[in-house]
Structure 1
Amino acid sequence: MIAVLLLGLTVGVILALTGAGGGILAVPFLVFGVGLSMAEAGPIGLLAVGLAATLGAVMGLRNGIVRYKAALLTAGAGVVCSPLGLWLAQRTPNRPLTIMFAFLLMYVAFRALQKSRPTRVGAKPPGTRKPPPCVLDENRGKLNWTGPCAWALTASGVVAGVLSGLLGVGGGFVMVPALQRYTNLTTQSVLATSLTVIALVSLSGVVASSAAGHLQWAVALPFSIGAIIGMGGGRLIAARLPEPYLQKGFALLSALVAVALLVKALG
């Protein structure tokens, strides 16, 4: 019980320091720390990440920076597809799931390392880039809805939903880049909207997994409590640390965990 609580605490601190994408480490921590299989750890990781994302989403809604229609459309697609991921996870052997997760974690590490680097000299300024499919109307404060905009957000939700059910990840590493690419929202609005999507998709996956009897509450509750406490404590120190160093540290930790997962799966 204490060990599980401490693992959750560690994940919560990582969430606070690196954002919602840090929750991807919840599953490997449960695999190595508790000895669960990928399919068993996935729903528990979803619960912890979903609760943490819910707190962030509520704060974003309070500040009026969540684009709730975009979040509902994207999350709706994710909620519909999440059970498919859960179904596949329960029928896929542990070794292939572990290898898939390791490669996904390496991708997340690569993205975090890219994010830690300064903007390249000679990169195109925002004004010279092609407008994204979802453009915010400054006068109305709402997105201009078009077919390409709806399709881009729906496709992003499908990917996030399947991966959340299959591997127990919240989908922050999918939603944040997708919203940055397909919309012209501010960074704060992108993060708040993505947290709303993650909360809805993750918690729907938790409900489906619990209904199917695949969620181990004896592990899930202390792990989630630890994650919430850790997130609260981590926020106190997050603002004092330079973000590039946080991202580099997260990239290094993610890469090491990915290698450990590969060794475990192939050994």
Structure 2
Amino acid sequence: MLLAALLGIAIGGVLGLTGAGGGILAVPALVLGLGFSVVTATPVALMAVASAALLGCIDGLRKGLVRYKAGLLMASLGALFAPLGIWVAHQVSNRLLMTLFSLVMLFIALRMYRQAADKSQASPAYLEKNCMLNPATGKLRWNLRCWTTLAAVGSVSGLFTGMLGVGGGFLIVPAFRQFSNITMHGIVATSLMVIALVSGTTVIGTLVHGTRIPVLGWVFIATAVLGMLLGRWAAPHLPARRLQIGFAIVTLVVAMILIIKTNFPGLV
């Protein structure tokens, strides 16, 4: 019970600090820490991430940081593709699913570390990107490039949400940074909105189809919300670059442990 609470606080805290990452660590926390299978851990992780992200989204809306039109576009497509991810998850073995999850974690960890460590790659404010803000209004310019970019990000994040229970923020935040000139505070707040909507609709679907969450899962979910509160409080006081590097290192270590535990169980 105590371990479930501590893991929940940690996952919620990461989500609150970065706008991503909570979901990518939630399933490994449940699998390695509490002994859940991937299929059992997925709805618990989604519920925890959705509840915590909703709290962060409300905070972002209150502060006027959420790009709600972009968020709704990505969330609607994410919700459409999430059931396909759930179907795929039930067609493959736990070992294959866990290996795929670990490889995704490795990719994200290495990419995030390179982004944070390479100070020279910061893009100039004037560089044209797929989704640009109108300086006169402060709103996004909705052209074909912007529509298709956000639609693709939402679809892929929804697929991974259903298949791996990861929330999607690990894709949304880097993609927003790459393809738009929205501020990091706006990116995090919008990411939390998409995570809350996609994860929430996905987990509701699994519950309607008979999935049950164990007591330890509810403890994990409740404490993840507490962790979100702590993370949102601490975020303005911590350097974003160091947070990203620290998260990337933790994700890399967890991914390696999962790969070894899944494919070489005798070594761990």
TM-score for the superposition, normalised by structure 1: 0.91
Root-mean-square deviation (Å): 2.0
**Which has the larger displacement, 164-173 or 40-49?**
40-49
Matched, 1:134 2:107: no
Indicate if the aligned counterparts of 2:56 and 2:232 stay in contact, CA closer than 8 A.
Answer: no
Matched-pair contact (CA < 8 Å) for 1:47–1:220: no
Structure 2: 5+ residue stretches without partners: none
Who is 1:212 aligned against? 209
Match of 1:182 in 2: 179
Q: 1:14 to 1:67 in 2, by over 3 A?
A: closer
Tell me the alpha carbon deviations over residues 124-178 of structure 1, each in whole angstroms, 9 at most, x when there is no partner: 6332x3x223222232332222222111111111000000000000111111122
Q: CA deviation at 1:74?
A: 0.9
1:228 aligned counterpart, secondary structure: helix
Q: For residue 59 of structure 2, what is the aligned residue in structure 1?
A: 59
Deviation string 1:48-87 (CA, Å, 9 cap, x unpaired) is 1111111111111112221211111111000011111111
Displacement after TM superposition at 1:201 (Å): 0.5
1:172 aligns with 2:169: yes
Equivalent-residue separation in structure 1 for 2:138 and 2:248 (angstroms): 35
> Are the counterparts in 2 of residues 31 and 38 from structure 1 also a CA contact under 8 Å?
yes
**Count of aligned positions:** 264
Aligned partners of 2:171, 2:207: CA distance in 1, in Å?
A: 24
Kindly report which structure 2 residues correspond to 1:147-162, keeping only aligned pairs within 5 A, or say none.
147-162=144-159
Identical columns (%): 43
Alignment of 1:178-257 (within 5 A): 178-257=175-254
Kept after mapping to 2: 8 A contact 1:31/1:37: yes
Secondary structure of the residue that 1:196 maps to in structure 2? Answer: helix
Change (3 A) 1:159 1:124: closer
- 2:75 is the alignment partner of 1:75: yes
Partners of 2:17 and 2:65 lie apart in 1 by: 21
Structure 1 residues 28 and 182: alpha-carbon distance in aligned structure 2, compared to 1, 3 A threshold: same
Distance, in Å, in 1 between the alignment partners of 2:238 and 2:65 is 25
Q: Secondary structure at the match of 1:20?
A: coil
Contact between 2:43 and 2:165, CA under 8 Å: does it hold in 1? yes
Q: Aligned partner of 1:206: which letter?
A: V
TM-score normalised per structure 2: 0.90
User: Residues 162 and 125 of structure 1: is their aligned pair in 2 closer, same or farther, counting only changes over 3 Å?
Assistant: same
In structure 1, runs of 5+ residues without a counterpart are: none
